[in-house]
Chain A
């Protein structure tokens, strides 16, 4: 299994979630985060914005769905300007469902 952490624009959260649900991946978690990328924030006039509010979407999927999930997120979260976000993929060794006590997603 793989864990995808996608940092997206907050207003794109529901768009991405809906697109993932359409693609058969309805389960995900969102959390509100603050951060910046390689532009180190932006300066508008006298005001410097060091960090921006973003949404971190976290989902765990089977290996064979990884490419599909990534392409869905890339398409739905894209606006074409700076700050669209990043996607990170990590390995997940085991998963358990608490209500049944079973192994697997």
Chain B
């Protein structure tokens, strides 16, 4: 089993959920988080809406406001080992705009999964 954590733009959540459903992965967890990437959050939250603002805002912001926390959504989805590539493709296809701030995907190995209702463990407990 693998856990796929992906950080995406807030307004891309409905599209991503739709894409997941169409691909047959309806189960996911959504968390509201704040973060920044290797550019240090230039442009701030405004650049989430309009990527063109990245250039404008990074020129205008002074040094002490250089580090911005940008609101993001963290989607967590647990899948079988052989489904990882497909899910990663789905996420990239749904979220790619080509501008910085599209997000990251991390694939994490899981030792054990348990379904609370039935007590099933391992592969059976995933979806």
> Which residues of A approach B to under 8 Å, CB–CB?
1, 3, 14, 17-18, 21, 26-31, 58, 60, 90-101, 105
Q: Which of B19-27, B30-38, B55-63, B119-127 contacts A (4 or more CB under 8 A)?
A: B30-38
5 extra interface residue pairs, beta carbon distance < 8 Å, beyond A30-B34, A99-B103? A1-B106, A26-B39, A28-B35, A29-B35, A60-B104
Of all chain A residues, the one with the shortest Cβ separation from B69 is A30
**Which residues in A have their C-beta under 8 angstroms from that of B35?**
27-30, 58
The reply to whether A90 and B102 form a contact with Cβ atoms under 8 Å apart is no
Q: Which residues of A have CB within 8 Å of B14?
A: none
Contact string against A for B residues 68-99, beta-carbon threshold 8 Å, 1 for contact and 0 otherwise:
01001010000000001000100110011111
Tell which of B38, B100, B107 touches A95, judged by Cβ atoms closer than 8 Å.
Answer: B107
Which residues of B pack against A, CB within 8 Å?
2, 6-8, 31-40, 67, 69, 72, 74, 84, 88, 91-92, 95-109
Between A and B, how many residue pairs show CB distances below 8 Å? 86
Chain B contacts for A100, CB-based, 8 A: 98
Chain B residues with CB below 8 A from A97, complex form: 102, 104
Please indicate the chain B residues that have their CB under 8 angstroms from the CB of A29 in the complex. Answer: 7, 33-35, 72, 74
Do A98 and B107 have beta carbons less than 8 Å apart? no
When the two chains form their complex, are residues A99 and B67 in contact, meaning their CB atoms are under 8 A apart? no
Asked if residues A98 and B8 are in contact (CB atoms below 8 Å), the reply is: yes
Q: Are B106 and A94 in contact (CB under 8 A)?
A: yes
Residues of chain A within 8 A of B39, CB atoms compared: 26
16 contacts between A and B (CB under 8 A): A3-B106, A27-B37, A29-B35, A31-B33, A31-B74, A60-B106, A91-B108, A92-B108, A93-B107, A94-B84, A95-B107, A96-B105, A98-B6, A98-B95, A99-B99, A99-B103
